[in-house]
């Protein structure tokens, strides 16, 4: 039997995806626990959400480290202390280097507010509006060393409306993020995700 997953969630801001994960664990949809929530932003609302749920949190100030590798090593040390075996990026606004990514090979997930490989990087919703696409959406993927290029786990499409603003599109996408991120995490925790040749196969699907 697979050992119970312990999640380490990395955040920088509002934490609505973190909240959806907390709620999905509470409801029994995800068979895992959150070992720790780490933030690079002291004022992140996500930290308050975790506190409220009784989850340990830590603010680690990147400014206190001489370079990125030392900062990431600190993240790894803290995640290790909490016995984390799946790292969840939930609005973490920092690019992780190969030092961190290789350490947690195929054990880091991210959610991105577009249908990758379209519109990677920052301001995905704005990129979608600018490109005039009629459909956008969200993607949960494993993190590799590229920017939003890792093996795709789940995607969901969302219509783009003629009168959409960045905010209206972002909130329509966000609603679906809160559904597919917990679902992807749950599949991982049940041992149902197999990665081969940059593709993810979901067992039993
Ligand atoms: C979400 O749009 C997510 O797709 C992106 O960052 C945002 C985080 O929002 N990676 P929240 O902090 O989870 O509310």
Q: Report the CATH fold assignment for 1-104.
A: Rossmann fold (3.40.50)
Closest by Cα among 86, 91, 52, 89 to 174: 91
Give the CATH number of domain 110-205: 3.40.50.170
Task: Provide the CB-side half-sphere exposure for 105 (13 A, CA).
Answer: 4
> What pLDDT, on a 0 to 100 scale, did the predictor assign at position 127?
98
Residue with tokens 């786990």: 153
Residue nearest to atom 12 of ligand 1 (CA): 15
Of the candidates 139, 134, 80, 85, the one whose C-alpha atom is nearest the C-alpha of residue 108 is: 85
- Phi first, then psi, for residue 142 (nearest 5°) are -75, 150
| pTM of the full structure | 0.97
Ligand 1 neighbours, Cβ below 6 Å, are 13-17, 46, 90-91, 111-113, 174, 177
CA of residue 150 to ligand 1 center, whole Å: 17
Residues annotated as catalytic (active site), given as ranges:
112
Query: Is residue 109 helix, strand or coil?
Result: strand
- pLDDT score recorded for residue 2: 62
In CATH terms, are 1-104 and 110-205 the same topology?
yes
Say what the pLDDT of residue 192 is. 98
Provide the CA 5 distance to its chain's centre, in angstroms.
15
pLDDT at res. 135: 98
Residue whose entry in the numeric block shows the structure tokens 């969200």: 138
Alpha carbons within 13 angstroms on the beta-carbon side of residue 56 total 13
pLDDT at 160: 98
Distance 137 CA to ligand 1 centre (A): 13
Phi, then psi, of 80 in degrees rounded to 5: -65, -45
What was the pLDDT predicted at 1? 54
Task: Give the residue, by CA position, lying nearest to ligand 1 atom 2.
Answer: 113
List the domain boundaries for the chain.
1-104, 110-205
Give, for all 205 residues of the chain, the pLDDT tens digit: 567 899 999 999 999 999 999 999 999 999 999 999 999 999 999 999 999 999 999 999 999 999 999 999 999 999 999 999 999 999 999 999 999 999 999 999 999 999 999 999 999 999 999 999 999 999 999 999 999 999 999 999 999 999 999 999 999 999 999 999 999 999 999 999 999 999 999 999 8
String of b and e for 78-109 (b: at least 16 CB within 10 Å)?
A: bbeebebbbbbbbbbebebeeebbebbebbbb
Predicted confidence at residue 172, as pLDDT, reads 98
């Amino acid at each position: 039997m697979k050992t119970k997953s312990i999640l380490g969630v990395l955040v920088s801001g509002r934490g609505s995806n973190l909240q959806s994960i907390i709620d999905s664990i509470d409801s029994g949809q995800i068979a895992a626990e959150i070992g720790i929530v780490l933030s690079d932003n002291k004022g992140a609302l996500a930290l308050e959400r975790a506190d409220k749920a009784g989850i340990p949190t830590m603010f680690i100030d990147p400014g206190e480290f001489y370079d990125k590798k030392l900062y990431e090593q600190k993240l790894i040390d803290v995640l290790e202390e909490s016995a984390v075996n799946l790292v969840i990026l939930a609005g973490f606004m920092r690019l992780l280097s190969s030092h961190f990514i290789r350490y947690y090979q195929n054990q880091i997930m991210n959610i991105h507010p577009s249908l990758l490989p379209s519109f990677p990087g920052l301001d995905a919703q704005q990129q979608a509006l600018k490109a005039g696409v009629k459909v956008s959406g969200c993607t949960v993927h494993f993190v590799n060393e590229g920017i939003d290029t890792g093996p795709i786990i789940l995607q969901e499409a969302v219509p783009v409306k003629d009168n959409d603003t960045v905010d209206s599109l972002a909130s329509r996408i966000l609603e679906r993020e809160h559904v597919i991120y917990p679902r992807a995490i749950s599949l991982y925790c049940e041992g149902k995700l197999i990665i081969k040749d940059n593709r993810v196969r979901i067992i039993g699907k």
